[in-house]
Structure formats: C-alpha cells, structure tokens
Amino acid sequence: MELVIQPDAERAAWLVASLIAKALREKPHLVLGLATGRTMERVYNHLVRMHRDDKLDFSLCRTFNLDEYIGLPPDNPGSYRYYMDHHLFNHINIDHRNTFLPDGMATDLKAACRHYEEMILEFGGVDLQLLGIGSDGHIGFNEPLSALRSRTRDKALTPSTIAVNGTLFNKPGEMPTRAITMGVGTILDAHAIILLVSGSTKADILAKAVEGPITSMVSASALQLHPQCRVVVDEHAAVKLQAQEYYRWIFATEPEWAGFRSDKQ
C-alpha cells in the first residue's frame, strides 16, 4: 500500500483523476471499477474536464460500479445509476452499453449478483478500482463483519449508513435499507486499487483502515492485503496517521510521483 497526502480535497481528487487518465491512455480498453458518494463528485468533475479540454477518450472504456440500492429504478435521483449518468457518463464519450451497475430491480437478486460477477470475469476483471470509504469503514456497501472473501451479494445497510446516506434523499425513509454490492473479495481481485479519502470526519476510520489491524469490522482494512493499492488523502483526513512523515517523503522522492508533484490542475 502507498499513501499520498495532498494539500486539500480538490488536489487529492485531481491526483486520482490524473491516475485514472494515465491508465486510460495506456490502455484504451480499460475496465474501470467506479464508486459513488460525495467524495467522488470532484474526481468525476476533473474527468469530465479532461475529456473536454484534453481529449481524454472513453470510447473503448468499460465500467463496473461497486454497488446499487435495491428497489430504486434507474430514473430515481437517489439511485447510483442516476448518480453516474448525472456526474460522469452523460458528459463523456463512453458507450452507455459499456457501463454496468448491479441490477437492484432484479426479481431474482441472487441470480443478478452471480451474473454481475460473471460479467466482470468475461471482461477480464477490473483493471483499476476506484474506492471511497464509509464512516464505518465500508468499501462498496461491505458493512462491518462482511467476510473478507465475500463476493457480490445483497446486503442490509447499517443504521449509521442509512443515517449518513439518507441525507441525499429528498424524503426521510425514501432511502432503501438494502443494496447489492461487490464483495470485499471481488474488490480485492481488481488488478489495481485507488482509495480516495478526504475531510476530517474520515480521519479516524482512515487511520484504522490503513494503519490498524486487518479486521472484518473495518472492511477497508482488507486493502492492506492488496499488492497494488494507492491511497490518496487530503490533510484533513490525514491528521490521525502515525507515519505521515514517511508518506510525505515517499511522495517527495519516489520517481513514480514525479509527474504529479507540481503539475497544474
């Protein structure tokens, strides 16, 4: 795992968008794993701008989202399909037929979960998985005690997740209490992973996830097992990290980060 501290949330999102852009330029058929949430909005703004101003080409790219609420149709503004269309897909030259989310409207949810796993395999697996973190340490919707080898499945959300994410819905009670999510094992199968974390409310859980023990109580701690995982955070999220000095030294000195240190946004 490599951890990079950026001055603010905007710069952190820019760095993540730049890493995605680099991967896409190197492999136009990239299979990209995508995430939702407020943190990702900045990343998608940058990708839209890079498409518009720098001709970043998504025409051959395929995407698989981490999760989707159960029982929300795609035209519901609370659904993750709506979120992705609104923040990214409608503004870039991706073929919408190559954008996949779990089918939260399926009558047979177990079959829909199996089908999602099969499709990811058919496309050769996820090349680069983008992740955020929930305040209880979830990645996707893998709530505490999710098996570290879990696969795509339907999952009950915790009351705390319902309280936090419920603010994104117009009416209280409108938010579904269940979702389909890639499992922790599914996520760990991605060839490379980028976790983006910003804001002081995530400082405690970030420290637990990256510097604490690996435990199913904090699903994101399983990322410590992944050989190609980069974690990009802002100063506010970084305050509880013990090895800050080391992380800053790596970013300042490793050749891998040279092109990202002083580039303009």
Instruction: For residue 38, state whether it binds ligand GLP (rule: CB under 6 A).
Output: yes
Stretch of residues binding ligand GLP (CB under 6 A), selected from 120-128, 132-140, 210-218, 237-245: 132-140
Q: CA 252, CA 249: separation in Å to the nearest integer?
A: 5
Q: CB atoms < 10 A from the CB of 218, how many?
A: 21
User: Any idea what the Cα angle at residue 226 is, between residues 221 and 228, rounded to 5°?
Assistant: 125
Cα 146 to chain centroid, rounded = 17
In one-letter notation, the amino acid at residue 125 is G
Q: Which of 66, 112, 187, 203 binds ligand GLP (CB under 6 A)?
A: 66
Computed on alpha carbons and rounded to an integer, the radius of gyration of the chain in Å comes to 17
Pattern 136-165, binding to ligand GLP, x per CB under 6 A? ----xx-------------------x---x
Residue numbers 189-228 binding ligand GLP by CB under 6 A: none
Q: Does 36 bind ligand GLP (CB under 6 A)?
A: yes
Q: Which of 103, 136, 189, 234 is catalytic?
A: 136
**Among 35-43, 99-107, 182-190, 233-241, the segment contacting ligand GLP (CB under 6 A):** 35-43
CA 104 to CA 74: how far, in whole Å? 9
Q: Is 98 in the site for ligand GLP (CB under 6 A)?
A: no
The amino acid at residue 240 is K
Q: Residues near 107 by Cβ (< 8 Å), separated by ≥ 6?
A: none
If the CB atoms of residues 205 and 254 are measured against ligand GLP, the closer one turns out to be 205
Nearer to ligand GLP, 57 or 235 (CB): 235
The values of phi and psi at residue 155, to 5°, are -145, 140
Is 138 an active-site residue? yes
In degrees and rounded to multiples of 5, residue 192 shows phi and psi of -145, 155
Active site residue 143: yes
Chain-centre distance for alpha carbon 126: 12
Among the listed residues 33, 102, 104, 132, the single contact to ligand GLP using CB under 6 A: 132
Binding site for ligand GLP (CB under 6 A): 35-39, 66-67, 132-134, 140-141, 161, 165
* Catalytic residue positions, numbered: 67, 136, 138, 143
